[in-house]
A and B are shown apart, each in its own frame.
Chain A
Amino acid sequence: MAEKQHLHLHVNGEPVDVVAPIHNTLLEVLRENLRLTGTKHGCELGECGTCTVLVDGEPVLSCLALPIELQDAEILTVEGLTEDGKAHPLQIAFAETGAAQCGYCTPGILMAAKSLLEKNPSPARREIEEALAGNLCRCTGYIQILQAIERAAAGDVGKPISV
């Protein structure tokens, strides 16, 4: 058994203590120790973007991040996007436009999109595509995801959908 380390992390606005081997990645600690299974995995090698979470507001691949290096950081996962029981506008927009088909890449893409909109509240389509170019989706062809992000950015959440 590998040596374990007591880690003090700050996840979704809450302090959490975890005892885990040092070589467990943030992805493993989130999913297996904290049971925050909203963060998914698609390759575990940093090739697909599925496990994206935010560390101090920046998208990071949790499969390639070591928790021991993140003890001073604010970690945000898809579960933390919902505030006071209310879904984030991006989450609602994704649901409204059909951006989540199987929903497996969705948490990672939501996190990357949140970071983008915080820096660039009304991005051009090309800017969204470039910001998300590391997040693969096999279901949607990306278009409804782009529409969802534009909808959230425009403050159109809740308005009727035109097809």
Chain B
Amino acid sequence: MPTKTDTKPEGSTPTREAEPLSIIGKPLMKVDAMAKVVGETMFADDLALPRMLFCKIKRSPHPHARIVKVDTSKAEALPGVVAVLVGAELPIPFGILPVSQDEHALSIDKARFVGDPVAAVAAVDEETAEAALEHIDVDYEVLQSIMTIEEALAKDSEPIHTGELHRGEGSVNGNVHKAVSLEFGDLEEGFAEADVVREDTFFFQGNTHLPMEQHSALASCGADGKMTLWSSTQTPHYVHRAMAKVLEMPPSMVRVIACPNGGGFGGKSDPFNHEIVVAKLAQKTRRPVKVTLTREEVFYCHRGRHPVKMWVKSGIKKDGSITAMHFRSFLDGGAFGSYGIASLYYTGALQTVTYKIPRYKFEGLRVFTNKPPCGPKRGHGTVQPRFAIECHLDKLAEQIKKSPLDVRLDKVIEPFSITANQLRVRTVGLKECLERVAERSEFRNKHGKLPKGRGIGLASSSYLTGAGLPIYWNKLPHSGVQLQLDRGGGVTAFCGSTDIGQGSDSVLAYVVAEELGVEVQDVHVVTADTHLTPVDLGSYSSRVTLMTGNAAIEAARRLKPLLLDQAAEKLQVPVERLAMAHRKIFDRDHPDVSMEFAEAVVLAEARHGTLGSTGSYTPPRSPGRYKGAGVGPSATYSFSACALELEVDPETGMVTIHKIWIAHDVGKSINPLLAIGQIEGSVYMGLGEVLMEEQVFRKGVHKIPSMLDYKSPTFVDMPPVESILIETLDPQGPYGAKECGQGPLLPVIPAVAIAVYDALGVRIDESPVTPDKIVSALEGRLRAVTVPEYDWPPPVDVPPMREESSS
């Protein structure tokens, strides 16, 4: 068995002090809440600069075509048009992953999907820019388009990418982006030990983030030649790198400021062509240039959930224990790499991080198709396999006649253990999550016992609390915080982290205020500005609370002694007895012996000069050393369980969800109000994905690129949700905190499919679970999901870890 128990929680985070927490754990208002409710918050499109020009982008009307010629002369001659830009002016490729630098700001040789940008205009107003696009003539040579995984795998398929970049191992033709095969332990031995071996296939349809705010970017190139970009981005640091690279500017001359994001969900995590385009246009015109995408264009930016076909085979014993699992995934990646290689590995990474799976094999491939590129959406790459695994487990449980609750409870992974694929797990609150939702939903009394048409479903999941490795290889911290004290008792906290609505600015302020004993309003956060703030890698992989939180704690704890020394001297109290809270430094034993925080600042500044400190955070190294071990590790994992009760109209297939119970192991809630907001939002997004959302194509083009036709649940579609916070006080997290912004999405999706089965006895093994599919299934006409044949590369054989090397 590769699973070893590591009983020693490591103590790399600052240990918690005995003081009661005065800010952490309280349902405080977010620091930016009032600005948002009065309409003061400036999102990227709300910005305007003197002499600002407006940019519109001309996009390919063909899914796959060679660009023969682009003639911009007519557009350039139009009154009001200041500059026109074509791909040849930005020849350097970029992309979020170092191995997938396959995008150009404007296509040069080929257009790879309908919506792929080919030229851009800067004009005095948006209408003029838009009108000018019609006057740009592009000659295309239309190529065969590839719209499905099967088409991409066909031997004669027209390669979407040519050149060496994507000629990875295991590729039968140019449209396999990457194929991987990993084997952990002797699978055949595992299947031989099983009482039941079962295979299932699933399909998870693609869907998109649909943030309410359309992407927008404003670039300004100053007289000093320095470039500033304001953008609705979740990852200003990565945009900064891409901008410097493509514009061939020293990074020191480029400044990227992430505006508050009007929702991201992963959709604003790539460096985008429109950001580079406005920067180049600003350089060309020496005037500020803004671009704001239309809703339709946001669908073309995409980077959303990959459509994934899956095949899974598991062996299970009558007692419910899994002996081995073999999982295959086929990802439809769209036209570019984006985060795709990470997405691919993620579809195989976290299967082992919920239940004990002693032997595990993963084979996966990602293909290119002529569609907008897929990438990271909330739950990145783990949502699709979680749907498959939980539905598969429900079938296994039925086959061995065990309660789906017990089957899960019995095999919850051990805390502080290492999984078969060598991921180090720390605290695990999954058992408690399962028990709580089962109890609140009365699962045992209801499952299999509700009247026909009513059903209850249960599922669980896990998710990362921040990716263990950065996107490009380096040994640098993942998050940095700099603090500066002012004589009035204010604290300014500088950090590259980006608030996308999840409340990361607030978490930073809470942590600093808690550590230094000031009030939240005394902390001024300056975030997401590559000139002003230390690097934080961005708002993705649920990393910010843990990483920025830990960095902030370190910065504050470096500053504290300077203040406490002065206070100790002034108050004549030993430093060890001093505590800080509510703007005071006081004697723990005689709280009335105290001084103002601001006074201590003044004394410390007089002694030491200007006061400031920095802190940073790097996640612990993961034990896995095999090729592919870089995707999946995390400082710690969150866990969720969901139960939901629904009703299906057996005639129409319409699903009405009556209630959702969700328990989430959040480690420790920094602010329970915000944690619940993240959980409810995740549940909402999961429900949208399982009930109605789908990014679908027809005749090579997005079928429904609008908010009317792409179905996002409304107020009246949302059922009541009971959220239960489980606190496990993880040794890695700040005050014990883990993530809560993505994980709770995961179990909702399979729970719906499972509850539909409980209600009507039909399995819907593909998302979304729509009424037409349910009716077809009831008539026995819903076809099983098929997966392609593929000649997999030989597996990277990873032997079980013998002994846990002491950490």
Contacts and interface: CB of A to CB of B under 8 A. Distances in A.
A46 B34 CA distance: 27
B27 A163 contact: yes
Contacts of A144: 673, 676-677, 680
A141 B679 CA distance: 9
A6 B295 CA distance: 30
Contact of A138 (B45, B46, B263): B263
B684 interface: yes
B707 A35 contact: no
B211 A138 contact: yes
Interface in A17-74: 31, 35-45, 47-48, 50
A16 interface: no
Contacts of B718: 129, 141-143
B677 to A, nearest CB: 4
Interface in B367-409: none
B716 to A, nearest CB: 5
Contact of A130 (B685, B706, B716): B716
B154 interface: no
Given A43-B706, A139-B681, A141-B683, A104 B212 contact: yes
A136 interface: yes
Contact of B721 (A92, A132, A143): A143
B39 A37 contact: yes
Interface string A148-163: 0000000000000111
A83 to B, nearest CB: 11
Contacts of A146: 715
A141 B39 contact: no
Given A40-B43, A103-B37, A136-B712, A143 B680 contact: yes
A136 B39 contact: no
A98 B677 contact: yes
B295 A44 contact: yes
Interface in B697-739: 706-708, 712, 714-716, 718, 720-721
A9 interface: no
A101 B295 contact: no
Contacts of B261: 102
A100 B503 CA distance: 10
B501 interface: yes
A136 B295 contact: no
Contacts of B45: 37, 41
Nearest to B48: A35
Contacts, number: 177
Contact of B39 (A47, A77, A135): A77
B46 A43 contact: no
Interface in B260-300: 260-265, 294-295
Contacts of A96: 29, 33
Contacts of B706: 43, 45, 47
A42 B714 contact: no
Nearest to A140: B681
Interface string A72-106: 00000111011000010001101111101111111
Nearest to A93: B37
Given A138-B265, A139-B681, A141-B681, A38 B39 contact: yes
A42 B27 CA distance: 30
B32 interface: yes
A123 interface: no
Contacts of B27: 161-163
A162 B212 CA distance: 29
B786 interface: no
B211 to A, nearest CB: 6
A103 B41 contact: yes
Contacts of B48: 35
Given A45-B295, A134-B714, A140-B677, A39 B39 contact: yes
Contact of A136 (B33, B265, B707): B707
A137 interface: yes
Contacts of A101: 263, 501-503, 677, 681
Interface in B436-457: none
B93 interface: no
Q: Which of A36, A43, A101 has the most chain B CB atoms closer than 10 A to its own CB?
A: A101
Chain B at the A interface: SS class = loop
Given A87-B38, A143-B718, A137 B212 contact: yes
Nearest to B128: A1
B708 A141 contact: no
Contact of A163 (B213, B673, B721): B673
Contacts of B502: 101
B42 interface: yes
A39 B37 CA distance: 11
Given A42-B295, A138-B212, A47 B708 contact: yes
Contacts of B721: 141, 143
Nearest to A87: B38
Contact of B500 (A92, A102, A130): A102
B672 interface: yes
B714 A103 contact: no
B37 A40 contact: no
Contact of B30 (A35, A95, A133, A134): A95
B707 A40 contact: no
A38 B673 CA distance: 25
B459 interface: no
Q: Which of B37, B706, B714 has the most chain A CB atoms closer than 10 A to its own CB?
A: B37
A91 B40 CA distance: 12
A104 B211 CA distance: 9
Given A43-B295, A95-B30, A102-B500, A110 B37 contact: yes
A34 to B, nearest CB: 12
B210 interface: yes
Nearest to B42: A37
A162 B503 CA distance: 19
Contacts of A77: 39
A104 B263 contact: yes
A114 to B, nearest CB: 12
Nearest to A134: B714
B214 interface: yes
Q: Which of A36, A48, A79, A87 has the most chain B CB atoms closer than 10 A to its own CB?
A: A48
A130 B35 CA distance: 27
B607 to A, nearest CB: 40
A119 to B, nearest CB: 17
Interface in B499-530: 500-503
A24 B676 CA distance: 41
A45 B710 CA distance: 13
A139 B501 contact: yes
A146 B211 CA distance: 20
Contacts of B34: 87, 91-92, 95
A140 B29 contact: no
16 contacts: A37-B39, A40-B213, A42-B213, A45-B295, A47-B707, A87-B37, A95-B29, A95-B34, A105-B212, A133-B716, A136-B712, A140-B677, A143-B721, A161-B27, A162-B27, A163-B27
Given A140-B681, A163-B673, 10 more contacts: A87-B34, A94-B33, A95-B29, A101-B501, A138-B210, A138-B712, A139-B212, A139-B677, A141-B680, A144-B677
Interface of B: 27, 29-30, 32-43, 45-46, 48, 209-214, 260-265, 294-295, 500-503, 672-674, 676-677, 680-685, 706-708, 712, 714-716, 718, 720-721
Closest 6 CB pairs of A and B: A38-B39, A102-B501, A103-B36, A104-B262, A141-B684, A95-B33
